[in-house]
Chains A and B, each alone.
Chain A
Amino acid sequence: MTEPMLSTDVQRPETTVPPVTSQADARIRVNGLVKRYGTLEVFRGIDFEVGAREIVTIVGPSGCGKTTLLRCLNGLIAADEGEIWSNGTRVTEPIAGMAMVFQHFGLFPWKTVYDNVSYGLRMAGVPAAEIARRVPHFVNLVGLKGFEQAYPYQMSGGMQQRCGLARALAVEPNVLLMDEPFAAVDAQTREILQFELMRIWEERPTAMVFVTHSIEEAVLMGDRVFVLKGRPSSIKETITIDLPHPRTRETLREARFAELREQVWSTLMSEAREAEFKLET
């Protein structure tokens, strides 16, 4: 029944990776998280930590609960068991210092770029003068200078997500949650945005949890890649990405990058292959 792994000359991932970060250094700590929707158990036994300057990427098949996990981390929905800690607080509702970038962009269509970017600051009660000083900086940072007064419907998907990114960055979070942020933009734009995000992150590193469908993206962005799978799903593998920072276009050409990509690929695909064989018998 169990097929041998695809023959790649990559060593199998160690199932337990020595923690990259010490307890004290962790920005997010998740213990024994379980989430159910009625009778559907989405995931169980989720345990991990994310360091203050660490990017964790999460890959997994559609419907395995990636968005659900991020919504729990953000405090938007409650988990059924287990707990989430961030910055010394137990997360039960959205907390300051955390910001999310949404797959559907989540821009307010009646607000201009400027008003969308300043939204989080206004919600945080930042004084108007301070907002006026900060917003242009973040608008520039994501390359939207000159589009301050544009409405979302006037912009391409890529520009809309730049705006979504600026809105999240503007509150200067120390935890960034990214739910397939570049999944809805075309391939070229996606590549541009990936490197821009990495450039921005290198300038001001934060803890980041980055969900994606793309194995390439997971390896390029991540310090560790979590493979989420199973029913209910859990973190089946953790692959440490020992590629040097800063990650740039050069990274894509490194032999080690290809190895790691294959490693994540085979881990992810083993289940898909099993499922395929089950169907045939």
Chain B
Amino acid sequence: MRRELINRHAPFVLSLTAGMALWEVVGRYSSPAFMVPLSATLKKLWQLIIGGTLITQFLDSAALFLTGFVLALLIGMPLGLLLARVRGLRVGLEPYIMILYATPMVALIPFILSMMGFGFAPKVLVVFLFAVFPVLYNTIEGARSIKPELIEVARSFRSSEWSLWREVMVPYTLPYTMTGVRLAIGRGLVGMVAAEFFLSSTGLGQMIMTASQNFDTAGVFAAILVIALIGIAMMRLGRRIETHFARWRN
């Protein structure tokens, strides 16, 4: 049992240790203008934590990310189901969705800036735009793959349109949506940092910018590390939720 556990996790632990060692060694031999070793990064991180800066900035970023992300979910999923169900709407809107999904959202930031200025709302919009399309797209694809036979079964049992959504469309589509959600987490984080860079500077993005301007490489790395860890944690959570909703698939 114990041995099995060791065997299973050994490659991961080894590779992680090697990576950290490499970072440490390369960091020690490079100019601190580019890179600092892991130990220096962690030390800086610790200072930022006890100094309170990290917590404030983290909460700031989290509020931005969550608002944009939750909006992306709340709009992406129902809209996806609606588009899957109403053919005319889908055919009409699909080209725009494809174009926006394919457009690098960063390109839209100057436009958003000139339209909406520097408040919280334009930043939320950026996160939203980054995150919504994978959710929307995967929901549409998922909902469209429902077997027509099952819709017919629902009709045969006199399902109302609302029941059809609740009992058939949503549970069937959720695993697909969750795949989109996992993609949306990554993209949403990019959107968050981009918004914090290019719109009013706040949060972890601002930390990176300020540290970089002060040639505080350790500070830059510390902030990046935090963002990366958040990303990993959220992706894992997303995967969990995805498997939970897909447990009926063999």
Contact A106 B149 (CB under 8 A): yes
Contact A119 B157 (CB under 8 A): yes
Q: Known: A76-B152, A104-B149, A119-B167. Contact between A109 and B157, CB under 8 A?
A: no
Contact A94 B149 (CB under 8 A): no
Q: Known: A102-B149, A153-B248. Contact between A110 and B171, CB under 8 A?
A: yes
Contact B156 A100 (CB under 8 A): yes
Distance in angstroms between the alpha carbons of A102 and B168 in the assembled complex: 17
Say whether A136 faces chain B, with CB atoms less than 8 Å apart.
no
Interface of chain A residues 105 through 123 with chain B (CB within 8 A): 106, 108-111, 119-120, 122-123
Distance in angstroms between the alpha carbons of A109 and B149 in the assembled complex: 12
Contact A108 B157 (CB under 8 A): no
Distance in angstroms between the alpha carbons of A110 and B155 in the assembled complex: 18
Give the total of A residues in contact with B, Cβ under 8 Å.
25
Q: Which of A94, A102, A108, A171 contacts B167 (CB 8 A)?
A: A108
Distance in angstroms between the alpha carbons of A58 and B163 in the assembled complex: 33
Say whether B158 faces chain A, with CB atoms less than 8 Å apart.
yes
**Can you name the residue of chain B whose Cβ is closest to the Cβ of A120?**
B157
Distance in angstroms between the alpha carbons of A153 and B246 in the assembled complex: 12
Q: Which of A94, A104, A106 contacts B158 (CB 8 A)?
A: A94
Q: Which of A76, A106, A110 contacts B172 (CB 8 A)?
A: A110
Q: Which of A99, A100, A108 contacts B168 (CB 8 A)?
A: A108
Chain B residues with Cβ under 8 A from A1's Cβ?
none
Distance in angstroms between the alpha carbons of A102 and B155 in the assembled complex: 13
Chain B residues with Cβ under 8 A from A119's Cβ?
157, 167
Contact B250 A106 (CB under 8 A): no
Distance in angstroms between the alpha carbons of A198 and B80 in the assembled complex: 45
Chain A residues with Cβ under 8 A from B168's Cβ?
108
Contact B249 A153 (CB under 8 A): yes
Distance in angstroms between the alpha carbons of A138 and B54 in the assembled complex: 60
Chain B residues with Cβ under 8 A from A122's Cβ?
163, 167
Minimum Cβ distance to chain B for residue A180 (Å): 14
Contact A108 B155 (CB under 8 A): no
Chain A residues with Cβ under 8 A from B172's Cβ?
110
**Can you name the residue of chain B whose Cβ is closest to the Cβ of A103?**
B149
Contact B248 A99 (CB under 8 A): no
Encode contact with A along B158-169: 1 for CB under 8 Å, 0 otherwise.
111001000110
Task: Give the most central of B150, B152, B154, B172: most A CB within 10 Å.
Answer: B152
Contact A123 B159 (CB under 8 A): yes
Q: Known: A94-B157, A99-B157, A123-B159. Contact between A106 and B167, CB under 8 A?
A: no
Minimum Cβ distance to chain B for residue A118 (Å): 11
Using CB atoms and an 8 Å cutoff, list the residues of chain B in contact with chain A: 149-150, 152-160, 163, 167-168, 171-172, 247-250
Given contacts A102-B149, A152-B248, 15 further A-B contacts (CB under 8 A): A74-B156, A76-B156, A94-B158, A95-B158, A100-B156, A102-B153, A108-B168, A110-B248, A119-B157, A119-B167, A123-B158, A124-B157, A124-B158, A153-B249, A154-B250
> Can you list 13 A-B contacts (CB < 8 A)?
A71-B152, A95-B158, A106-B149, A108-B168, A109-B248, A109-B249, A110-B172, A111-B248, A119-B167, A120-B157, A122-B163, A123-B158, A151-B248
